[in-house]
Amino acid sequence: MDLFFLARRFVAGVDVESAIRVVRGLNENGLHATLDLLGENVRDRGQAERAVEAYATLLDRIATAGIDSDISVKLTQLGLDISEHFCEENMRRLLSRAAERRNFVWIDMEGSAYTQRTLDLFFHLFRTHPNVGVAIQAYLYRSEEDVRRLADVGARVRVCKGAYKEPKTIAYRRMRDIRRNFLRLAEILFERGSEPAIATHDEQLIEAVQRLARERGITPDRFEFQMLYGIRPRLQERLVRQGYRVRIYVPFGTHWFPYFYRRLRERKENVWFVLKNLFEWSRA
């Protein structure tokens, strides 16, 4: 039973060519992209190696297709659960291929069990590969300190709210606290960071970031907004019309369920949408 049709709103397709087609369409509307080959928590060496190979081929395909896209990876897809050394070797291979293709690799931030290891590996890689950036989650108390360290070395940071279920001993739970911390992180990155990415669909936060940028004299070419494929497309296009750089995170591949589940959890309307589609499908 193929339930991919349920995820179609958030996932560009199961294969590379569908994803390339989607990115081409986004590029035609003035949007940049970051392609994510879905997969996480891989515990089999062969599977992690196949993911590296698929990403390397994707970097080549981005170049030959002439589309405007970088890539986003998850370290647990590239073997972090198997061994840190193995994951580092895999990342080095990818970063070298990306450098040959003059491209850039974002590291997504996963659940808090991986935060420290992700950042340790990031700092290590960044010394030799400046074409790598990392996501930071505004809901974590530790993030201000992490962002300061990242800004100190001139690394590119993608600030997002955070998509995993974390305990209140380590993470803010109230939206107004998460927003306040998000803005604080953006402020640090505007003061000392390098081309930060502001990853949110929250209009209140976007307006606050725009205000902050204006107050600090940060012109729109010095940062970018990032949003997820399928979420608030009109807002994405409006920001482009206003002269901002906007990059869309475009996931694709057969391992779509965990990503899809996080999108459902974020909004209960999505669950109703899925239930309605399932009901219609079962009657068809």
Cite the beta strand spans of the chain per DSSP E: 32-37, 69-73, 105-107, 132-137, 156-160, 197-199, 224-228, 246-252
Q: Which is nearer to ligand FDA, 100 or 203 (CB)?
A: 203
10, 52, 75 from 42: Cα distances, Å: 22, 12, 9
Amino acid, single-letter form, for residue 185: L
**CB count in 10 Å sphere of residue 41:** 14
Closest CA to 159 of 131, 133, 132: 133
Measured from each CB, the residue nearest to ligand FDA is: 201
Q: Which is nearer to ligand FDA, 79 or 217 (CB)?
A: 79
- Phi, psi values for residue 75, rounded to 5°: -65, -30
State the nearest-atom distance from the C-beta of 99 to ligand FDA, in Å. Answer: 22
State the nearest-atom distance from the C-beta of 25 to ligand FDA, in Å. Answer: 17
Describe the crossing of helices 268-283 and 257-266 by its angle, rounded to 10 degrees: 120
Q: Which is nearer to ligand FDA, 278 or 283 (CB)?
A: 278
Q: Which is nearer to ligand FDA, 269 or 282 (CB)?
A: 269
State the nearest-atom distance from the C-beta of 214 to ligand FDA, in Å. Answer: 21
Q: Which is nearer to ligand FDA, 3 or 175 (CB)?
A: 175
State the nearest-atom distance from the C-beta of 245 to ligand FDA, in Å. Answer: 13
Catalytic residue among 108, 146, 156, 179: 108
Structure tokens at 237: 């296009």
Q: Which is nearer to ligand FDA, 90 or 200 (CB)?
A: 200
Closest CA to 167 of 139, 189, 148, 138: 139
Radius of gyration of the chain (CA): 18
State the nearest-atom distance from the C-beta of 89 to ligand FDA, in Å. Answer: 22
State the nearest-atom distance from the C-beta of 198 to ligand FDA, in Å. Answer: 9
108 is catalytic: yes
Burial bucket for residue 177 (CB in 10 Å: 0-12, 13-18, 19+): middle
Q: Using CB under 6 A as the criterion, which residues of the chain lie in contact with ligand FDA when the complex forms? A: 108-109, 135, 137, 160-164, 199-202, 226-228, 231-232, 249, 263, 266-267, 270
120 is catalytic: no
Catalytic residue among 101, 158, 245, 247: 158
Number of H helices, E strands in the chain: 11, 8
Q: Are 259 and 230 in contact (CB under 8 A)?
A: no
List the catalytic residues: 108, 158
